[in-house]
A and B are shown apart, each in its own frame.
Chain A
Amino acid sequence: MTDFLQQVIVGLRIGSIYALIALGYTMVYGIIRLINFAHGEFIMVGGYTLFFTIPIFTDSFGLPAWLGVFVAIVVCAIVGILSELLAYRPVRKKGNRMTALITAIGMSLLLQNIAQAIPAMGPNPRVIAEDIFQAGSLDILGITTNRTAIFTIVIAAFVMIGLQLFIQKTKLGRAMRSVSENKAASTLVGINVNRTIVITFAIGAGLAAVGALMYCAQYRTVTNTMGSLLGLKAFVAAVLGGIGVIPGAMLGGMLIGLIEALVTAYISSSLANALVFLVLIIVLLLKPAGIMGKNVGEKV
């Protein structure tokens, strides 16, 4: 039983990272119906920012390493805003959804290859030597786990609750919800649609930065391709939970993380990735709107 619970904790930890990233996908899709394939690369940007800033915080100032996440959030938000302003908005004005999707794929490849070409980031994997959370295993009620897992799950939960409150209770959150429901009507009631979209990108990218912190705390290496598989699985999580629905992204993320951990532990590690993507296909066949998604349909 303790074995199973340990694997569940592993699954929740992995799932928290997916959930944080899936939130970014779902928010952007909800507001402009675009699947931002470059979102995985925002994680990569966050990871590299942490690689550069954590040594500065720990060695030069003696501060805890996780403070680097605030810098990462700012950098990721800037990258997110820039992609929206420079790449997605012009395409949205002139093109259709297909061109916007292709632009997103192009942005993803661009960011990956820029990271590979910059010598300071470079093609070799970079190791973050400093501990972000204190290392070492913990024994809680007979279950062996570690501080990274606990902090990841707890921080992700706080972030998600905070985001849900923000969306429901604040004026900006209301603006985001109304823009995702009906862009034209939102303009009519005086919402600055473009500004709302930019803020959505910034928040989504900021969440990716927090996800990057969790990823780096556990896996310690950053490479230019670290975002691709992560982003892909988080996208599956977003679709599973219901793309465009924020609680859906959280649920989807946790589910995918649990599937991955439990399949690896009890069936086979080779099957884990295959099953995650099989879930995507099954969801799209049976309930394309996802677990918590509502099939609203096109309003004519």
Chain B
Amino acid sequence: MSETKAKKKGISKKTLIIIIAAVLVVAVAVWAILTFAVPEKEAETIKIGHIAPMTGALAAYGTAVNNAVELAISEINADGGLLGKQIELITKDNQADPAETVSAFNALLGEDVAAIIGAVRSACTSAITGLANDEKIVLITATSTADAITEEDNYVFRSCYKDSFQGRMVAAFCAQQGWTKVGILYTVGDAYSTGLRDSFLSAAEELGLEIVEEQSTSDILAVDFSSQLTTLASADIDVLFAPYYYDTVGPKIIPQAREAGYDGPIVGADGFDGTESVTVGDLSVYENVFFTNHYSPEDTSEIVQNFVSAYNAKYDPASLNALAALAYDAMNMLAQAIETADSIDHDAIREAMVGMHYVGVTGDMTLDETGTPAKSVSILTFKVVDDALVQSFVATAQ
């Protein structure tokens, strides 16, 4: 065998140590320069953080609420700003996912925002309420209706009613319509759905409604409801209660229910808002569907019509929904709190939010000790107009 010189593979140990040491020294030097040499500028704007599902299954909600918050901010800025400063909106996309919501929350903390609006879906907001209280920053959700979100007197507030109220209103509507035999389809894996089902059940008992059949899916991503709907269709029910979001209700639950042979009324909660954007096939399947919501665009009061025209002037009118109205109110409530507190200190803002009375697009509301407003609910239905589905006002309930 011929002699081969042993070739040294790679860098020697000594060289490696020198390289690492050099990199460390440079890193420390750069950090020191950035932290100490660059003087801290006093903030010229008031930053408000917003967490919303800009992409993903609930994107219709995210776009609407972000537009509304932007609209509120542009109106305030045009009017001279807040405490003399312009408001800057920082929006983070959470894709309606709880884990992403936590990342978005931490990112906003890093940007030093005065307060945070968000999230849309109850399961996502629940993921950050604990964090908001730990970090002592005001979190106001415009749209998360799950009861558990505001349970104590702390940093979490909302501009919408909660599900125990909403579920009760749906039950009251069923009782009022004479639909006493109820079938329920809900998902076990989601706070919104189970919360509504629970509050519907407790109200049903008082109102004399009978739950004839109850079926469930295991998580919010389920697509197939045929087995459950087949069972519900064969049961003798006057009405089907299905607390889901529009992305499931529109393409899946309502068409599948009609195909399973169920032609009766279907009721839901504010999650049905947006179904008109994801309809499939023959639109007549969407008739005889009712749901509770936060306001009606047909409301003729000045404050509602001003909001509707301002939104439609700036954004696509097809994107306007009740959640936008709630978000608009939420941003204005924050602005009112900051004005009253005359500061952007987190605790001062919180003090000003407690027990706040505010008159907004979605009603006259006073925040209770947990941070949830007492307000009224609108009941809407769908009508087929010119080959499209539109929402139509039925009644208000208190």
Chain A residues within 8 Å of B, Cβ to Cβ: 2-3, 6-7, 10, 13-14, 122-125, 127-131, 135-137, 139, 144, 146, 148-149, 218-221, 223, 261, 264-265, 268-270, 272-273
B255 at the interface (CB under 8 A from A): yes
B59, B217, B252, B259: the one contacting A124 at CB < 8 Å is B59
Contact status A261-B281, CB under 8 Å = no
Using Cβ atoms and an 8 Å threshold, which residues of chain A touch B224? Answer: 14, 218-219
Using Cβ atoms and an 8 Å threshold, which residues of chain B touch A129? Answer: 279-281
B273 at the interface (CB under 8 A from A): no
A139, A220, A223, A270: the one contacting B218 at CB < 8 Å is A270
Q: Residue of A at shortest CB range from B234?
A: A3
A248 shortest CB reach to chain B, Å = 24
B243 shortest CB reach to chain A, Å = 15
Contact status B218-A10, CB under 8 Å = no
- The count of A-to-B residue pairs whose CB atoms sit within 8 angstroms is 105
B106 at the interface (CB under 8 A from A): no
Using Cβ atoms and an 8 Å threshold, which residues of chain B touch A146? Answer: 259-260
Binds A, one of B2-10, B225-233, B312-320, B375-383: B225-233
Q: Measured between alpha carbons, how far is A7 from B260 in the docked complex, in Å?
A: 11
Contact status A137-B251, CB under 8 Å = no
- Given A125-B57, A127-B280: A219 touches B223 (CB 8 Å cut-off): yes
The interface bits of chain B over 172-201 (1 if a CB of A lies within 8 angstroms of the residue's CB, else 0) are: 000000000000000011000000000000
Q: Measured between alpha carbons, how far is A124 from B250 in the docked complex, in Å?
A: 15
Contact status B227-A265, CB under 8 Å = yes
Contact status A269-B228, CB under 8 Å = yes
25 A–B pairs (Cβ distance < 8 Å), ordered by A: A3-B230, A6-B230, A7-B231, A10-B226, A14-B224, A14-B226, A123-B56, A124-B55, A124-B57, A129-B279, A135-B258, A137-B260, A139-B261, A148-B259, A149-B226, A219-B224, A220-B280, A220-B281, A261-B227, A269-B188, A269-B216, A269-B217, A269-B227, A270-B189, A273-B218
B59, B228, B252, B281: the one contacting A219 at CB < 8 Å is B252
Q: Measured between alpha carbons, how far is A219 from B223 in the docked complex, in Å?
A: 7
Given A10-B226, A149-B226, 8 more pairs with CB closer than 8 A: A7-B231, A123-B56, A137-B258, A144-B230, A146-B259, A219-B251, A220-B255, A221-B251
B253 shortest CB reach to chain A, Å = 11
Q: Measured between alpha carbons, how far is A137 from B259 in the docked complex, in Å?
A: 4
Contact status B188-A221, CB under 8 Å = no
B222, B223, B233, B251: the one contacting A127 at CB < 8 Å is B251
Using Cβ atoms and an 8 Å threshold, which residues of chain A touch B26? Answer: none
B282 at the interface (CB under 8 A from A): yes
Using Cβ atoms and an 8 Å threshold, which residues of chain B touch A10? Answer: 226-227, 230
Contact status B255-A221, CB under 8 Å = no
Using Cβ atoms and an 8 Å threshold, which residues of chain A touch B391? Answer: none
Contact status A270-B188, CB under 8 Å = yes
Using Cβ atoms and an 8 Å threshold, which residues of chain A touch B251? Answer: 127, 219-221
Contact status B218-A127, CB under 8 Å = no
B285 at the interface (CB under 8 A from A): yes
Contact status B252-A221, CB under 8 Å = yes
